[in-house]
Structure 1
Amino acid sequence: MDQPTPAYSRREQIGWYFYDWANSAFSTTVVTVFLGPYLTAVTKQAADAAGYVYPLGLPVLADSFFPYVVSLSVALQVFFLPILGAIADYSHRKKQLMGIFAYVGALATMGLYFLNGDRYLLGGVLFLLANLSFGASIVFYNAYLPDIAPPEERDRVSSQGWALGYLGGGLLLALNLVFVQFLAEPLGIDTGHAARICLASAGLWWAIFTVIPLLSLRRRQPLRALPPGEHYWSVGFKQLRHTLRHLPGYPQTLLFLVAYLLYNDGIQTVIALAAQFGSQVLGMGTASLVQVILMVQFIAFVGALVFGYVARWVGTRRAIVISLVIWLAVTVYAYGMLQTEREFFLMAAVIAVVLGGSQALSRSLFSQMIPTGQEAEYFSLYEVSERGTSWLGPLLYGLTLQFSGSYRLAILSIAVFFALGLILLVMVDVPRAIREAGHPVPERI
């Protein structure tokens, strides 16, 4: 007689972790390190004497082009991701959809190899497609968390996933650092060509390691059947309207979602634009920036695991609050006191300690506030402000930079998001949110 398949398995959890290992190469090598400075340099080559380019006829300061593209990619996600989440909840194709978007994003990332000369629009379009696909794949990835771990284990599972992601992203970044610093010049490869090779390597890494979760994760039957006469796209639009209409019925979940949108916009803006800040304000070269982000990856690996234990000690929400206080202090320090490259390294080390914890614990806490059967749908709303996909922060940063001409004022503007997010998070009644979603309240939250 066949043994029943266990509801939760360690094998499936490990396979799930490896999608973080796979896609983190895009977050680190592309978004955080290479694309911002490189695309800005390409855009400047295409700019007129006043420093402006004109995509679609609109005047855009060359330095602001990359932040605006990040913002636009998320504006598109605001429309598409909730619909995709609803489709996933009505189908058994969560794994297949994750794989499709992963490989679309990986191919677009590999296409960045052809970004040279003054082809800034090519870079913008490819990044737009890659970042949109990245966000879509993460919706389905996050929606697996309630499937593979019970509530009392989600802090651990989520934190270990983030930790492995930092380790994977850091390993590829280390290989790229060795290539840029020690191999490119002896091989006759100039700096720009080396940057394009590194960008393409992230897409290749993403494509190769996505195979592991696709082989490990099991298909689940949907908890809601597709209504007669409906198609997945039509029910996706209808369910999105239904979710937005009924979301106020879960007021504490809604409050947490707004808090997360605010403070995570701040986190993602710092991640996406820190390299540009370091290069333009402190004159840091590509090699130094890669070293900083590489250091962050490995410290964040430890930090994500440590914050999983901190959450067990003080509770999940209090652990997130601690991390946000540190984030707020860092933005103020960058504005008023940061002067040298060495200080940039020290500041980055502090960020690394709280980086993984603030994100991993937010994900696990939110997973307990979601009504059963609507995981992908609610995580699609969550993903709108997830890593590498924030839009309010880059938009404010870009506008502040364009009108003030000051990178320091631009980074200070991001403190608003940490402050408001922290205030709202403190106001969330977490036990009530879990009860409203129809789940039992764990002993420690």
Structure 2
Amino acid sequence: MTAEAADRTASTDEGDRRRQQRGWYFYDFACSVYSTSVLTVFLGPYLTSVAKAAADAEGFVHPLGVPVRAGSLFAYAVSVSVVLAVLVMPLVGAVADRTGRKKPMLAVCAYLGAAATAGMFFLDGDRYLLGALLLIVANASLSVSMVLYNAYLPQIAEPDERDAVSSRGWAFGYTSGAFVLVLNLVLYTGHESFGLSESEAVRICLASAGVWWGAFTLVPLRRLRDRRIAEGKELPPGQGAVGAGWRQLVATLRDMRRYPLTLSFLLAYLVYNDGVQTVISQASIYGAEELDLDQTTLITAVLLVQVLAVAGALGMGRLARSYGAKRTILGSLAVWSLILGAGYFLPARTPVWFYALAAAIGLVLGGSQALSRSLFSHLVPRGKEAEYFSAYEMSDRGLSWLGPLVFGLTFQITGSYRDAIISLVIFFGLGFVLLARVPVRRAVAAAGNPVPKRI
């Protein structure tokens, strides 16, 4: 029996497959706390305050002798982390597929990110450079680890069950994000009763996300299994994985031209996902500056999004079983456009309407992301999962600056955050058109995969 045949036999063992799926869910459970508590809520304002403490009279810090406005440090550090991740992701994906050792590489990325996050406990005083470095390492590590994590999906789930499995993974992530955020908010708002300063409470919240990430990563590392490399794909004697990885990367870029329908889906995903990410990253600015809402309202709204995203991911997974992933995603893009339209007319200083908008975002956020991931898994040629998912992650991260640029330019020209938020409709409208034009059943067949009954 060949390695490929053996793997196909293993993948049909339902008990083993279910066990691996349950382990796979827990990486979302582990790392989503970083995205919620660290990146979305606590680190941006705190790192900015640390940078301001180190700034000169004009409000600038000087990392490596370069003048940087203290208020821009967080955004620049995130941008650097995105560039670093985009450079590393294709290489890691190629090496993983060429060596068949995704799990050790997942462990390295996860624990590097978790350690950097836990190290944020030491971010105090004027240590803005330490904070920027830890942010770059943690954010890039998370992005690279997601390439490896997503590449397991075709291996552990049959074609007809991937929508449900992907949706459950997102639901696990949003559940942990909401749970830890509640604990962090209790600590933060009641820090004096715990005998802590505000700075100490924030640093504990940051570090706890790293500890959580590292602890629960043990579950997928115990349950997931690496797949044996098919005959003829092993590394030649004397060749290192890194060198072979670079050569494989070049081959992958050429190979992707053979699957134009897969590339068409990636283009559609790049466009509409950029809109999704921009709404999430800019919602707090819109709420604070245009709607005049306080920090407590904004943080509570983030928590509401996390809670409802669990139900949204599971609910849209069920809809996909009846209507197919493509139609369900298209429906979610229409809802996203309606959300932006409602946001444009949202009255200022009315938290209840902002909470209603947050609830709507939560209900479509998890499902649109989960179903996009599962749909793409059908379009990946067998044996090239990590390489192609690196391209998927690059679509997710690599152009994530475009939406904020449109948002910022619109505000700069019009002076209105309402005009800026409505400008993002173009991403969902164009993404809808591009996705609608992709014949997904033909794309699955062209990639050499079995076509599910509903897709």
Normalising by structure 2, report the TM-score: 0.89
Q: Could you say which residue in structure 2 is the equivalent of 1:12?
A: 20
Whether 2:285 is the aligned partner of 1:272: answer no
Q: Could you say which residue in structure 1 is the equivalent of 2:202?
A: 195
Q: How far apart, CA to CA, are the structure 1 residues paired with 2:417 and 2:205?
A: 26
Q: How far apart, CA to CA, are the structure 2 residues paired with 1:235 and 1:384?
A: 21
Q: Could you say which residue in structure 1 is the equivalent of 2:119?
A: 111
| Uncovered stretches (5+) of structure 2, i.e. residues with no partner | 1-8
| Uncovered stretches (5+) of structure 1, i.e. residues with no partner | none
Whether 2:449 is the aligned partner of 1:442: answer no
Q: Could you say which residue in structure 2 is the equivalent of 1:225?
A: 234
CA, structure 1 residues 405+226, in 2 after alignment: closer, same or farther (shift >3 Å)? farther
CA deviation map 1:204-258 (0-9, x unaligned): 1101111111111122212321134421111111111111122121111001111
Q: Could you say which residue in structure 2 is the equivalent of 1:328?
A: 337
How far 1:40 sits from its partner (Å)?
3.1
Q: How far apart, CA to CA, are the structure 1 residues paired with 2:143 and 2:388?
A: 14
Count of matched residue pairs: 441
Q: How far apart, CA to CA, are the structure 2 residues paired with 1:435 and 1:390?
A: 30
Whether 2:440 is the aligned partner of 1:433: answer no
Instruction: Report percent identity of matched pairs.
Output: 53
The code of the aligned residue for 1:319 comes to T
CA, structure 1 residues 277+195, in 2 after alignment: closer, same or farther (shift >3 Å)? farther
| Contact kept in structure 2, 1:74 and 1:384, CA below 8 Å | no
How far 1:329 sits from its partner (Å)?
2.9
CA, structure 1 residues 142+332, in 2 after alignment: closer, same or farther (shift >3 Å)? same
Q: How far apart, CA to CA, are the structure 2 residues paired with 1:116 and 1:276?
A: 25
How far 1:85 sits from its partner (Å)?
0.2
CA deviation map 1:159-183 (0-9, x unaligned): 111111111111111111221223x
Q: How far apart, CA to CA, are the structure 2 residues paired with 1:388 and 1:241?
A: 18
Whether 2:277 is the aligned partner of 1:303: answer no
Match of 2:253 among 235, 244, 248: 244
CA deviation map 1:314-369 (0-9, x unaligned): 21111111111222333344345352333221111100000110000000000000
Q: Could you say which residue in structure 1 is the equivalent of 2:4?
A: none
| Contact kept in structure 1, 2:89 and 2:147, CA below 8 Å | yes
Whether 2:127 is the aligned partner of 1:98: answer no
Q: Could you say which residue in structure 1 is the equivalent of 2:303?
A: 294
Q: How far apart, CA to CA, are the structure 2 residues paired with 1:333 and 1:388?
A: 29
The code of the aligned residue for 1:225 comes to E
| Contact kept in structure 2, 1:68 and 1:395, CA below 8 Å | no
Q: Could you say which residue in structure 1 is the equivalent of 2:32?
A: 24
Q: How far apart, CA to CA, are the structure 1 residues paired with 2:409 and 2:236?
A: 45
Please say which of residues 351-360 and 404-413 is displaced more in the overlay.
404-413
CA, structure 1 residues 348+31, in 2 after alignment: closer, same or farther (shift >3 Å)? same
| Contact kept in structure 1, 2:82 and 2:397, CA below 8 Å | no
Residues 13-92 of structure 1 mapped to structure 2, 5 A cutoff = 13-47=21-55, 51-58=59-66, 60-92=68-100
Q: How far apart, CA to CA, are the structure 2 residues paired with 1:176 and 1:348?
A: 20
Please say which of residues 190-199 and 281-290 is displaced more in the overlay.
281-290
CA deviation map 1:389-439 (0-9, x unaligned): 934334555666678776555544543332332221112111121111011
Normalising by structure 1, report the TM-score: 0.91
Secondary structure at the residue paired with 2:396? coil
CA, structure 1 residues 192+395, in 2 after alignment: closer, same or farther (shift >3 Å)? farther
Give the CA RMSD over aligned residues. 2.5
Whether 2:193 is the aligned partner of 1:186: answer yes
Q: How far apart, CA to CA, are the structure 2 residues paired with 1:218 and 1:413?
A: 45
More relative contact order in 1 or in 2 (CA 8 Å, sep 6+)?
A: 1
